[in-house]
Amino acid sequence: MAGKFEIYEDKAGKFRFRLKAGNGEVVATGQGYESLASVKKGVSAVQRAADVATVNELEKED
């Protein structure tokens, strides 16, 4: 089963999204947005970025 984005309104009236893996586990969450249109743009931006994103493994900080 493929992952999915869920859009919801939080208790403060902000719109947010969460990305769920195919098993239902939340793997990412978004910031609070003022409008439904804005949160949808945020989801689209994450989708575009993830499509071309690289993975950078960072050194352990001392």
pLDDT digits (tens, 9 = 90+) for 17-62: 999 999 999 999 999 999 999 999 999 999 999 989 999 999 998 7
- Tell me the pTM: 0.81
Parse the chain into domains and list their residue ranges: 4-51
Q: Which residue's structure tokens are 């970025």?
A: 49
The answer to whether domain 4-51 has CATH 3.40.1800.10 is: no
Alpha helices in the chain (DSSP H): 36-52
pLDDT digits (tens, 9 = 90+) for 7-16: 999 999 999 9
* Rounded distance between C-alpha atoms, residue 45 and residue 47, angstroms: 5
State the number of CA atoms in the 13 A half-sphere of 48 facing the CB.
Answer: 6
* Rounded distance between C-alpha atoms, residue 32 and residue 47, angstroms: 17
